[in-house]
Each structure stands twice: as structure tokens, then as C-alpha cells.
Amino acid sequence: MSVTDDNYRLKPLEERHAWDILSWRYPSPYDFYNPPVDDHQEHYVKQFMNPEFNFHAVLDACGTMVGFCSFGTDGQVPGGDYSDEALDIGVGMRPEFTGQGKGAAFFGAVLSHALGTLGPERLRLTVAKFNQRALKLYANFGFEVNDEFVEQPYAVPYSILVRRVADPL
């Protein structure tokens, strides 16, 4: 499977997309993001389909799902301070498309959708600190580290990045 171009569009996530995401496997050290493999697969699909989490599939021009995103509390990680008003964004790119220079177009489509349809004043991302590729990408879009914390019980360090919509890139 290959992405034919970087013109991405978003559409609400369908159940078939959720099942597809559950099969994704990232190489180390990104295997941290691998979906769980257990007897609760249907529970995870229901989470993806929960309208409260506002999941979307990110599709290329041929309709291939290259990733997904969420807008809302699903983008938060337990232990972080989310008391300030902001739109939380969670993202995931299909493993075989990561590390190929497509992140800016992919995240640009997610950001354009958020700004064009949801009208937030501030945007927020929570990123595992080891994920330097993602942190660099988000910094290029004007996000700045606002807070850091360690998620328990796994002792994973995270950064919370924010960007005011009114701030220029």
C-alpha cells in the first residue's frame, strides 16, 4: 500500500476504520503506540465510535486511510493538567507511512479541519517526550511546551503543547 499524494481529507471514523487501526503495529520505540491485543477488541472499537471523542479517519486522494485523529478529551493523558480551555487533538498515522516526510501534510489536514469546523481559540497536544519526530513537527506548526508530567503507573514522561489560534505560524 502506498500513499499516492499528500492531499488529505478527514471524514468521521467508521467501524471498519476502527478495526483497521487495531491491527496496526509500530516498530520500536514507537511500539509504545501499538493498540492492545486482547479479548476486549470490541470495547476499543466502541471507544473509537463514541461521538464524544470525535474520531476522524484521515484519507488520501484515493480514499486510503493514512491515519486518524480525535478532537476532545481522548487526546488527554491521565496525570496531565488540562484545566485551561483548549481543544485537545490526538493523532495517529498508519505505521508504514511514518518517517517518510508526510507528517506535515498529514497534521496540516488535521489542523485545518479543527480550525475550519470546530473554531477553537487554543489547541493542545499531549506527546510522549521520547517522540522527538512528533515534537519537532508540532513545534513547526507553532505549538509550544506548556507543561510536562509523568504518567503513572508506567512512568512515561509527557509534554503538553499548546498553540493559540490567533498566533501566527
pLDDT in tens, 27-47: 998 888 888 777 778 989 999
**Does the structure show a pLDDT above 90 at 81?**
yes
* Residues forming beta bridges with residue 58, ordered by sequence position: 10, 67
pTM as predicted: 0.91
Residue 87 within any structural domain of the chain: yes
* Residue 69 CA, distance from chain mean position: 5
Strands (E), 20-166: 55-59, 65-71, 87-93, 122-128, 144-151, 156-164
Q: How confident is the model at residue 79 (pLDDT cuts 50, 70, 90)?
A: very high
Mean pLDDT over 77-100 rounds to 95
Mean pLDDT over 78-102 rounds to 95
Residue 2 within any structural domain of the chain: no
Which CA distances in Å does 15 have to 19, 77, 80, 110, 130?
6, 24, 29, 20, 31
CA 137, 141, 142, 146: dihedral to nearest 10 degrees?
-50
Residue 169 within any structural domain of the chain: no
**Number of folded domains that form the chain:** 1
CATH number, residue 112: 3.40.630.30
**Does the structure show a pLDDT above 70 at 3?**
no
How far apart CA 61 and CA 46 sit, in angstroms, is 27
**Does the structure show a pLDDT above 70 at 59?**
yes
Residue 18 within any structural domain of the chain: yes
**Does the structure show a pLDDT above 50 at 110?**
yes
pLDDT of amino acid 18: 95
**Does the structure show a pLDDT above 70 at 5?**
no
Looking at the chain, the whole-number percentage of residues with pLDDT higher than 70 is 95
pLDDT of amino acid 105: 95
**Does the structure show a pLDDT above 60 at 1?**
no
Residue 3 within any structural domain of the chain: no
pLDDT of amino acid 94: 96
Mean pLDDT over 47-54 rounds to 94
Print the domain residue range for 48: 9-164
Residue 53 within any structural domain of the chain: yes
Mean pLDDT over 62-67 rounds to 94
